Chains A and B, each alone.
Chain A
Amino acid sequence: MGTILIIFAYLCYAIFLWRIVWRIVLLLKLSGHTEHGALQPRKASLLEILKTGRDIIFFTRLLRSNPLLWIGEWVFHMSFILVLVRHLRYVLDTAPHWLMNLQFAGMLAGYVLPVALVYVVAIKLWVEKTRYFSSGNFFLLSLLFLLSVTGLIMKNFIHPDIISIKNFISNALAFRFATAPESYLFVVHFIAAFVFLAYLPTHIFAAPFTLLEARKREEEHGGIMHER
């Protein structure tokens, strides 16, 4: 089982890497293409970069268009990051001090995460009665829900052997085959995590660039016809 899991993890990792490399190759193919209408593309100012940082961290554009959904999405993303950071202790040989200090917040985030996911789905399906819910997003949300629920069960009810998990992860990281921990919940959690990695939505890499462009465009908008 351990060998299968490790091969599976590397396969998912390879898919993830390929998706990134493929996008970079496509972008390089278009390196000579300038956007229609762009006579002199300009660099972003420091202020625009800072404002974009705020847009990325606080999802300000979503806040502007849908505050009700924004709160759910923001809480979900932030709790997901905290949970992810908390998991570093299973990967690192010795967990640094700051990571240990984050454990409590990460644990709380673990409880908030599934609630935020349910909130987002509820807002979309029952409050806004949205006509559009992409199957890809639904799959990812379900996967995250499975991840968070299995994680919470392992935390609170069916405790797997943490030492054997850490051993397994350390071996897996070094591509050494090892025995899988004797916990079906862990196996499900592990598989779901790597399926998520393989399907990781690439907008998390592209959106910072488009948000920066949107910020630049919005700053320029008032000056299109009103230049001095």
Chain B
Amino acid sequence: MKDKDTFISCLSQKQLLELDACTQCGECLKRCPVQDVTGDPSVSPPEKIRMFREFIKATDGLKSTLFGPSEIDRKLLEDFTKAVFECTTCGGCGRACPAGIFTERLWPMLRKEMVRRGLGPIGPQANTPGAIERTGNPYEKPTAERYSPWFPAEVRVAEKADIAYYAGCTGAYLAQPMVRGDVRVLSAIGEQFTMLPPEEEVCCGFPLFITGQHDMLKNLVNRLVKAYVDRGVKMLLCSCPCCVNIMVKDWPSLYGKPLPFKIRHLSQYVEDALKKGKLHIKKGLKERIIYHDPCYLSRGVGIIAEPRFILSQIPGIQLLEFERHGLDSRCCGAGGAARKVFHENAVAMGRLTIDEAVARKADKLILSCPACYEKVNEAMQGHDKQIKIVDIMELLSELI
């Protein structure tokens, strides 16, 4: 792919307007976790947009129309690629944008363009398609170990059921206390649920989507949807915000029509079970806990009240809030597959979350995302401030 090729082929009209709508005001920098830890405006959202506009001008502008596209400096392209892949795609910038730019969706599309040009993804992100091809998961972990290390012996899974549970790769391999808690809570609710066998529960496609590597997406989605349809599923439950995000927002277009089942975040199902009396919290907890909203759960799909309702039902608990919470939550550093490459940034972001939780004198930091769970736990290693990190369903499973 020559660098003279057009830069707009991965964009929609709406996204082209968004690039134009950026006023370069810099409000987004105040919500950017990369800025929080690097302080480097050259990798900031408005600079990325400015650079991309220059690329468009070089290949599709008046001069290029009259005299042919000009060659773009390779170093500039590489700098842009690094900047766009350093982003955690948390969407905080879009939330703060006075022009309403939907950056949560714009950055992945700019990444896709850089992948198309052979400049992205960066480092280990490039191994993701191959890993998924070989093992069904982006971490290249053995398929046979997807459930076995953590699945509780007492929990029964039906062959076919109206309800299905999708564990997700990050939960199954990197945040096992979380998914163990999920199935224990599901089991306690008492309704039959099914799960795909480990070799069929492949990646949801999110790591590919977010790193701009879209080639395998349709195939993965079709395989998963068919497998759930074959099991008679009417509602698919999942606790991973990234998986839920792509399922609800992109699976329908990748599948080509509306999904034949509903997608629900596990916290929605558990909230409903608590309200209907299907689930009872038997033990109390006299602790101050603080809940971190995962970006893709709050800003992404609007699940904000449900986890708080669940936590509020625990007798004796005092629920604290971060300064930035709900739709304004701050990224923990795990997002956008950037943690795989910009590890130091991710750890520093995770430590900001830990520091605030400790400063608010919380006894426990409650998470509800496997990527957050893995990264914040990692960020605490060697850190001077320590706090007990627990997943919401892990906590609940110990109290029912």
Contacts and interface: CB of A to CB of B under 8 A. Distances in A.
Interface of A: 18, 22-23, 26-27, 29-31, 33-39, 55, 59, 61-62, 65-66, 69, 124, 130-134, 136-137, 201-203, 205-207, 209-211, 213-215, 217, 221-226
A132 B21 contact: no
Interface in B1-44: 8-9, 11-18, 20-27, 29-31, 35, 39, 41, 44
A30 B98 contact: no
B27 A33 contact: no
B29 A132 contact: yes
A39 B99 contact: no
A132 B44 contact: yes
A131 B39 contact: yes
10 shortest A-B CB distances, which residue pairs?
A: A214-B100, A134-B24, A206-B20, A35-B12, A62-B98, A132-B26, A206-B21, A210-B21, A132-B41, A37-B250
Most buried by A among B21, B31, B46, B101: B21
Interface string B338-373: 000000000000000000000000000000000000
Nearest to A224: B301
Contact of B99 (A35, A210, A217, A223): A210
Contact of B252 (A18, A39, A202): A39
B303 interface: yes
Nearest to B244: A225
15 contacts: A33-B13, A34-B12, A37-B253, A61-B98, A62-B25, A65-B31, A65-B96, A132-B41, A132-B47, A201-B23, A207-B21, A209-B14, A209-B21, A210-B100, A213-B100
A203 B100 CA distance: 11
Given A55-B100, A137-B23, 17 more contacts: A22-B61, A26-B56, A30-B11, A30-B13, A33-B11, A35-B15, A39-B258, A61-B98, A62-B27, A69-B27, A203-B99, A210-B14, A210-B21, A213-B14, A214-B100, A225-B303, A226-B268
A96 B301 CA distance: 52
Nearest to A201: B23
Given A36-B105, A203-B99, A207-B21, A26 B60 contact: yes
Nearest to A130: B26
A29 B102 contact: no
A145 B26 CA distance: 21
Contacts of B26: 124, 130-134
A165 to B, nearest CB: 32
B20 A33 contact: no
B38 to A, nearest CB: 11
Contacts of B303: 225
Contacts of B100: 55, 61, 207, 210-211, 213-215, 217
Nearest to B47: A132
A225 B18 contact: no
Contacts of B15: 35
Interface string B173-198: 00000000000000000000000000
B117 interface: no
B325 interface: no
B261 to A, nearest CB: 13
A110 B22 CA distance: 27
A43 B105 CA distance: 19
Contacts of A202: 20
A134 to B, nearest CB: 4
B42 to A, nearest CB: 10
Nearest to B101: A210
Most buried by B among A37, A130, A137, A209: A37
B249 A37 contact: yes
Nearest to B327: A221
B146 interface: no
B250 A225 contact: no
B265 interface: yes
Nearest to A214: B100
A228 B22 CA distance: 35
A214 B21 CA distance: 12
A77 to B, nearest CB: 11
A55 B248 CA distance: 28
B62 A22 contact: yes
B17 A210 contact: yes
Nearest to B217: A36
A213 B13 CA distance: 12
Contacts of A65: 27, 30-31, 96, 98
A27 B13 CA distance: 6
Nearest to A38: B253
A225 B252 CA distance: 14
Interface string B262-285: 011100100000000000000000
